[in-house]
Structure 1
Amino acid sequence: METQPQGQLMIIGGAEETTGECRILREFVRRSGGIKARIVVITAASSIPVEVGYEYVEIFERLGATQVQVIDTRSQEDGNTLELLRVVAQATGIFFTGGDQARIIRSIKDTILEDALHKRYGEGAVIAGTSAGAAVMPDTMIIEGDSDTNPRMDAVAMGPGLGFLSRVVIDQHFAQRGRLGRLLSAMLQKPNVLGFGIDENTAIIVNGDRVEVIGEGAVTVVDESGITYNNLDRVLQDEPVAVYGVKLHILPDGHWFDLASRQPMGEVVGSRE
C-alpha cells in the first residue's frame, strides 16, 4: 500500500494578493511553520527570475518567515546541483512562482532537485505554486491551450507534470480567462481524472484526500467519470467535441472536496473569520 505524503499542497489560481492582507500567502507561511518557517522560492517558470524572486522574498519576510531563499534553475544542469539538496532539505515550505510551466519541467523534471522536492513533501513540507507553478503539480499537466473555446481535441497540449498529485488536472486563471472548454478538452484526453479550475486569488489546499478552498473566487470541479456519450470516435482534431453527463461542482471559500469519494463535503462553519 502506497504511503500517504505527510505534506500539504497549496495550488493557487494565479494573481494572488501580494499587498494588504495577503490571505493566501499568509496561510502558506502559517502552514509552513509560521514565524519558524524556512521557505524556498523556486523561480524556474519566470522569464525575470531575479525580480520575481526578490518580490516573494520581501513578501514572505514581511509575513514573518524566519528564512527565505531563492532557487533559480534555468537548465537540468542547475537542477542537478548538489547544493540545492541542502537548501531543500531544510525547507518547511516550497513555493513555485508563475511564468511558463514548460520552463519548470525543462529544468527540474528528472533531476535530483525533483527527487529532493518529493522527499520533503513526503516528510511534511508544504509545496505551493501559483499560475504556472500550479499547473505543474499533477502528474499530467496542461502545457498550453486556447482559452474561450468550446472543447476540441486540438484546444490543449498535455505533458508530464511534477507528480505531487495524481489523477487530477489543474487549470488556473479559470473564470477570468474562460477556460472551461480548455479543461474539458484536457480531461477528454485523460479519462477518469478530476479537473480543478482555480480562479485568480483563490487556492486549493490538499491534505491527503481532503481539498479545502480559500480565497475570493471559486474552484470549478469537473468530473467526467459518469459521461453517457461523446463523439470522439468521429471528430477530427479541430472539430467541436460533444459530451453528455459531465458532473460540475462550484466551490467557493470555505468549501471542501473529497478526492476519494469524488464528492463535495460542504462548508466549514466559521471558515471566513
Structure 2
Amino acid sequence: MAESQNPRQLIIIGGAEEKEGESPILREFVRRAGGVKAKIIIMTAATELPREAGERYTEVFERIGAAEVRIVDTETRDDASSSTALEAVRNATGIFFTGGDQARITSVMKDTELDAAIHQRYAEGIVIGGTSAGAAVMPDKMIVEGDSETHARIETVEMGPGLGFLPGVVIDQHFSQRGRLGRLISALVQEPAVLGFGIDENTAMVVTDGQVEVIGEGAVTIVDESEATYNNLGQILKDEPLAICGAKLHILPHGHKFDLHKRKPIVDKKVTV
C-alpha cells in the first residue's frame, strides 16, 4: 500500500480508564478509528488473562458503536507471524494494546512480521492506542520496571526497547497515583535529551503528528532535562541519590496541548504564564 496522507495518531492512556458510562477516552479512540465504521483489534499480549481482557474491551468498544472488534492474542513469537493476525492488522482502522506487563509485549512482538505490519498501518494513518503497559511500549526506549514512591536513583528504573511508535520520549503511567516522578527522572537522566511524560490514571495524551493534547480527569506531567544545568550521574553509585538542576517541568490537565517538535506547551496567549 502507498503511504496515506492521514495524520499519525496515538492515544496513550495512563491506565484505569473509565469503561462504564460515557467512557470518554475509549470513546475518543473509537471516534478517531472511524466511529461507527471502526474496525478495531485488541492486542492482549501484555496480560496473563487475554480472554478476560479481550472480552472486556470488546464489550466496551461494541457498546460505543465500533463496527467490528477482533482480539489478537500473541502468547508466543510464532503467533506474531500468523496469517490470521496479519490479516486482522491489514483490515483494521484502530489497534489497541491492553495493560499488563510491557515486557511481555516486546518479548513476543518486537521485530516480528506483526510488529512490521502494525508500523506500516500506523504510517498509513490508522490509530494506535494503549493503556498502562500498552502505553509504556509506545516509545523506542521504555521503562521495563522500577520502584514507585521513591527518590531518583540509577537503580530505581530498568530501561529496555519499546515498539517505537513515538521515539524520543519516555512514558510512565499511573503517574500521580503511584508517585512515579522519581523513576521518570531516573529514566531521563539515563536517556539524555529525551522528554518524559507521566500520565495519570483515566487520562490520555492524544498525539497527532507531533502535537499532544491531554484528555481525561487527571494530568500529564512533562519533564524536559535536555537543558539541565547539572546532574551528578558521573559521580554516584547506582544506589545513591541522583541530583538534577535546571530541568523543565510542565503539568497539563484536560484540554492543554504540547508541541513535541518545539518541546514546549501550546498556551493560550490570553493566559498569564
TM beyond 0.5: yes
Q: CA deviation at 1:6?
A: 3.3
Q: Per the alignment, in what secondary structure is the counterpart of residue 155 of structure 2? A: coil
Structure 2 length as normaliser, TM-score?
A: 0.96
CA distance in structure 2 between the partners assigned to 1:207 and 1:255 by the alignment: 14
1:204 alignment counterpart: 205
Q: Per the alignment, in what secondary structure is the counterpart of residue 85 of structure 2? A: helix
Q: CA deviation at 1:110?
A: 1.1
Consecutive aligned runs of 4 or more in structure 1 exceeding 3 Å deviation: 3-6
1:49-97: per-residue Cα shift (whole Å, max 9, x none)? 0011000001000000000000000111111112211100110010000
Q: CA deviation at 1:209?
A: 1.1
Q: Per the alignment, in what secondary structure is the counterpart of residue 233 of structure 2? A: coil
Q: Unpaired runs of 5+ in structure 1?
A: none
Would you say 1:67 and 2:92 are equivalent positions? no
CA distance in structure 1 between the partners assigned to 2:240 and 2:184 by the alignment: 16
2:198–2:220 Cα contact (<8 Å) kept: yes
> Which amino acid is the alignment partner of residue 201 of structure 2?
E
Alignment of 1:123-202 (within 5 A): 123-202=124-203
Q: Unpaired runs of 5+ in structure 2?
A: none
CA distance in structure 2 between the partners assigned to 1:77 and 1:267 by the alignment: 50
CA distance in structure 2 between the partners assigned to 1:247 and 1:168 by the alignment: 14
Q: Cα distance 1:267–1:100, how it changes in 2: closer, same or farther (>3 A)?
A: farther
Alignment of 1:1-273 (within 5 A): 6-266=7-267
Q: Cα distance 1:205–1:56, how it changes in 2: closer, same or farther (>3 A)?
A: same
Structure 1 length as normaliser, TM-score?
A: 0.96
Q: CA deviation at 1:233?
A: 1.3
Q: Cα distance 1:242–1:5, how it changes in 2: closer, same or farther (>3 A)?
A: farther
2:5–2:124 Cα contact (<8 Å) kept: no
1:165-222: per-residue Cα shift (whole Å, max 9, x none)? 1110000000000000000000011000000000000000111111000000000000
> Which amino acid is the alignment partner of residue 91 of structure 1?
A
> Which amino acid is the alignment partner of residue 30 of structure 1?
R
1:255–1:268 Cα contact (<8 Å) kept: no
CA distance in structure 2 between the partners assigned to 1:248 and 1:60 by the alignment: 35
1:5–1:208 Cα contact (<8 Å) kept: no
> Which amino acid is the alignment partner of residue 167 of structure 2?
S
Q: Per the alignment, in what secondary structure is the counterpart of residue 154 of structure 2? A: coil
1:5–1:121 Cα contact (<8 Å) kept: no
Q: Per the alignment, in what secondary structure is the counterpart of residue 235 of structure 2? A: coil
CA distance in structure 1 between the partners assigned to 2:235 and 2:225 by the alignment: 19
RMSD: 1.5
More divergent stretch after superposition (179-188 vs 83-92): 83-92
1:254–1:267 Cα contact (<8 Å) kept: no
More divergent stretch after superposition (117-126 vs 77-86): 77-86
More divergent stretch after superposition (226-235 vs 140-149): 226-235
Q: CA deviation at 1:47?
A: 0.7
Q: Per the alignment, in what secondary structure is the counterpart of residue 17 of structure 1? A: coil
> Which amino acid is the alignment partner of residue 142 of structure 2?
M
CA distance in structure 2 between the partners assigned to 1:135 and 1:112 by the alignment: 21
Q: Cα distance 1:84–1:260, how it changes in 2: closer, same or farther (>3 A)?
A: same
> Which amino acid is the alignment partner of residue 160 of structure 1?
P
2:94–2:127 Cα contact (<8 Å) kept: yes
1:14-46: per-residue Cα shift (whole Å, max 9, x none)? 000000110000000000000000000000001
Q: CA deviation at 1:5?
A: 7.6
CA distance in structure 1 between the partners assigned to 2:46 and 2:188 by the alignment: 24
Q: CA deviation at 1:244?
A: 0.4
CA distance in structure 1 between the partners assigned to 2:205 and 2:81 by the alignment: 30
Q: Cα distance 1:267–1:105, how it changes in 2: closer, same or farther (>3 A)?
A: farther
